[in-house]
Chain A
């Protein structure tokens, strides 16, 4: 925490930012009394509510007593940051770079910007006007040397002359030190320090600044040193400016909607070539490419593909063309992974197609991937898989991952190789009722039928209250399709069939040696893919000395083979 040259800065401050952001999102007018509630207290209060007597930090009940028509809005830090983007963008219309210190507070190095606008007053006016016009939000601007002085100046819309910061800070209350803290933990620490200082009789920042620095450091540690530096008008770090850059993207809008793949493939090749050139011109490489398309009906489709560009210097365009072609085939035929799920748009002709580079890195400094660098073996494996994907199409090669869930099938996540598809369910969630380990090594993609019989040959059932009608004694699974004997036995009149045979070919009955269950799992009862099943683990005698362990599920009156522990 060494002192740095003091920077003259302008601070743009939006009063009560959390509530302003919440009201903007909720579409409320500025005159509505509103407050943001977090936990048990209000964290921000709008001006109208403050006029009605609502105070920050009071409980919901007290606030509603003071102002019965108070609108309470939920606390959401993400919303605060998101909405503030608009303010930052508006401020960037007036100046070239800003630092977002925290949602609600922008910091701008004032020297250059003031020279550009003519004077500091003109800069302040330009900033306030720009934010009010572009983002529709009231703000105030202050200027001073050093961080704390500038923040305090913004609260009073003051322009502290150069060199006047120590004098400006001296009469301020020592509690205002917390305003310079940009993170929650830091602010709590600063508030604790301020309360200790007040109890010691150090009431103003001037009192604090006049104490010897070494004593403060010895008594209060780093936070004391931080407060002393700020109180004496010094700076801790120069502002870190964000620099907005254009996305590297190419897009092609069609005059007539295009439906046929063979018309789109040349466009895809041209776009991929254009993206490659744009990346080269910018001197960068990308780790992922987002393919975007807009359909005639106005749906926006987007899918992110991982590209291993480090391993493919010249062939990027051709490689990308393949990806785009597969993606388009999926979208236009409606067979892509998302098509079956609800909310997926119907296949429709496209009116625009674009590529956007993501994970952009300067040339020559590609990040190594999760599996550690683009080594020869990795590149070789990627090429082999791409070749297989070229042979079989997009869904021919799958990347597998584990996800959260209860049944073994739910816990597997499959996605086309190279496509970014995050698992739908988190593994870390508790998943009560999950089928216990060891996990089965064979999980058929769809459950296969099975028969569970009792000692007399009748079907075993499980009631809604999980009563098993009889101990399971025999289990018949589907026969191996290559098993001629089973097929012949199934055709034989003694199996009870006459004429054409419907349904599965049953293997011979296997005796149950031991079993466990039933374990009920009722999932997603609120949605259409609700499932209510009872699982049973069964060990069957296969041959004289061999057992076959299977996981069976009883659902809506029939038995299904869920998995085999082979």
Chain B
């Protein structure tokens, strides 16, 4: 049996929610976040918030790893305008390929396609060479805010909430004719729209742990050859 107090409390909570959303009160309402890999906490300390636009410049691998945890946890991902997306890299980073759709060449329909994806998907990755005007981008960003989708842009995005630009990367593992790529350090410049300043973050990336899986990549396999 519901008492009058309970109903009053529920009504107050509902009213507060509406006030927060329409901006009558001054407390800030924070959108729910999508899961993010622990390594990337230094890049996005507040997590991958729904409704945000994150621009990533200079590294597709970083872009994929931003999506990975959310995709593994059940989010749908659309990749628009990236015909050269590395599928194996996406799978290795932890994306669930069953919930990933790729629209490689949207062409002149890019605004409509991106809009449909923002409506239906949780994470939308937009490629660097899409036919989107600044007005289209603003419309997409506000649509994403309304629908709770995350837009990840490969390449600059005017007015992005967070911009990540890879300024340097150091690979190790290669020699002069021997070895193989083993891992790298990424230097990422983080610029937030609200935080104002610029942070430089160095992030170990792609490193495989030979202690954990020694049997997976023996040197013989690297050198092996004929089909």
Which residues of B lie under 8 Å from residue A391 when comparing CB positions?
Answer: 109, 112-113, 116
Main secondary structure of the interface of A (DSSP, over half): mixed
Chain A residues in 8 Å Cβ range of B113: 388, 391-392
Compute how far the CA of A236 lies from the CA of B160 in the bound complex, rounded to whole angstroms: 70
- Give the CA-CA distance A434 to B61 in the complex, in Å: 20
CB of A185 within 8 A of chain B?
A: no
Q: Is B33 an interface residue (CB 8 A)?
A: no
How far is A371 from B95 in the complex, measured between Cα atoms in Å? Answer: 13
Interface residue A432 (Cβ < 8 Å from any Cβ of B) = yes
| Complex alpha-carbon distance, A384 and B113, angstroms | 9
> Which segment, of A214-222, A268-276, A331-339, A395-403, faces chain B?
A395-403
**Contact, CB under 8 Å: A378 / B76:** yes
**A414 close to B181 (CB less than 8 A):** no
**Inter-subunit contact B174/A546 (CB<8 Å):** no
CB distance from B128 to the nearest CB of A (A): 9
Once the chains bind, are A436 and B180 in contact (CB under 8 Å)? yes
B163-216: which residues lie under 8 A (CB-CB) from chain A? 166-171, 173-181, 183-184, 187, 206, 208, 216
Q: Which of A391, A437, A471, A548 has the most CB of B within 10 A?
A: A437
Query: How far is B83's CA from A445's CA once the two chains are assembled, in angstroms?
Result: 7
Interface size of B by CB at 8 A reads 70
- How far, in whole Å, are A383 and B78 apart by their CA atoms in the complex? 13
Is the CB–CB distance between B89 and A441 below 8 Å? yes
B92 partner, pick from A399, A439, A539, A546, beta carbons under 8 A: A439
Say yes or no: is B121 at the interface (Cβ < 8 Å to chain A). yes
In the assembled complex, A206 has its CB within 8 A of some CB on chain B = no
Interface residues in A461-477 by Cβ distance below 8 A to B read 468, 471
Would you list which residues of chain A between 370 and 427 have a CB under 8 Å from chain B? Answer: 370-372, 377-378, 380-385, 387-388, 391-392, 396-402, 406, 408, 411-414, 417
Is A490 part of the contact surface with B, judged by Cβ < 8 Å?
no
**Residues in chain A near residue B99, CB distance under 8 A:** 371, 381
Q: How far does the alpha carbon of A397 sit from the alpha carbon of B117 in the complex, in Å? A: 11
Q: Report how many residues on chain A are interfacial, defined by Cβ distance under 8 Å.
A: 69
Whether A441 lies near B64 (C-beta < 8 A) is yes
Compute how far the CA of A434 lies from the CA of B96 in the bound complex, rounded to whole angstroms: 23
- Bitwise, A139-156 to B at CB < 8 A (1) or not (0) is 000000000000000000
Q: Does B32 contact A (CB under 8 A)?
A: no
Contact across chains for A519 and B97 when beta carbons are under 8 A apart: no
- A384–B181 alpha-carbon span in the complex (Å): 39
Contact residues in A for B64 (Cβ distance below 8 Å): 441
Residues of B within 8 A of A516 (CB): 173-175, 177-181
Q: Does A112 contact B (CB under 8 A)?
A: no
Is there contact, CB below 8 Å, between B85 and A520? no
- B91 proximal to A (CB < 8 A): yes
Are A402 and B86 in touch, CB under 8 angstroms?
A: no
Encode A468-499 as 1/0 by CB contact (under 8 A) with B. 10010000000000100000000000000000
A503-524: which have CB < 8 Å to B? 513-517, 519-524
Q: Please state if B88 and A433 are interface contacts (CB–CB under 8 Å).
A: no
In the complex, chain A residues whose CB is within 8 Å of the CB of B38: none
B224 in the interface (beta carbon within 8 A): yes
- A residues less than 8 Å from B60 (CB atoms): 441-442, 566
Chain B 147-175 interface mask (CB, 8 Å, partner A; 1/0): 00000000000000000001111110111
CB distance from A222 to the nearest CB of B (A): 39
Q: Does B223 contact A (CB under 8 A)?
A: yes
Taking a contact as CB atoms under 8 Å apart, the answer to whether B102 and A398 are in contact is yes
A549 interface residue (CB < 8 Å to B): yes
A521 near B225: Cβ-Cβ < 8 Å: yes
Interface string of A428-470 (1 = CB under 8 A from B): 0000111011111111110000000000000000000000100
Q: Is B221 an interface residue (CB 8 A)?
A: yes
Instruction: Contacts A400-B87, A436-B221 given; indicate if A385 touches B120 (C-beta within 8 A).
Output: yes
Q: Is the Cβ of A377 less than 8 Å from the Cβ of B76?
A: yes
Chain B contacts of A539 at CB under 8 A?
171, 174, 181
A430 to B: closest C-beta gap in Å: 9
Question: Bound complex: CA of A519 vs CA of B177, how far in Å?
Answer: 10
B121 A384 Cβ-Cβ under 8 A: yes
Candidates B101, B106, B180; contact of A385 at CB < 8 Å: B101
Which chain B positions have C-beta within 8 A of A547? 168-171, 184
| CB pair B58 A566 closer than 8 Å | yes
Given contacts A439-B88, A539-B174, A547-B170, 4 further A-B contacts (CB under 8 A): A400-B97, A402-B88, A513-B174, A565-B181
**Which residues of B line the A interface, CB within 8 A?**
58-61, 63-64, 74, 76, 78, 83-92, 96-107, 109, 112-113, 116-117, 119-122, 129, 166-171, 173-181, 183-184, 187, 206, 208, 216-217, 221-227
| CB<8 Å pairs between A and B, sample of 23 | A381-B76, A383-B120, A385-B101, A391-B112, A391-B113, A399-B101, A432-B221, A433-B221, A433-B227, A438-B92, A438-B208, A441-B89, A442-B84, A444-B83, A513-B174, A514-B179, A516-B179, A521-B225, A546-B168, A549-B184, A566-B59, A566-B60, A566-B61
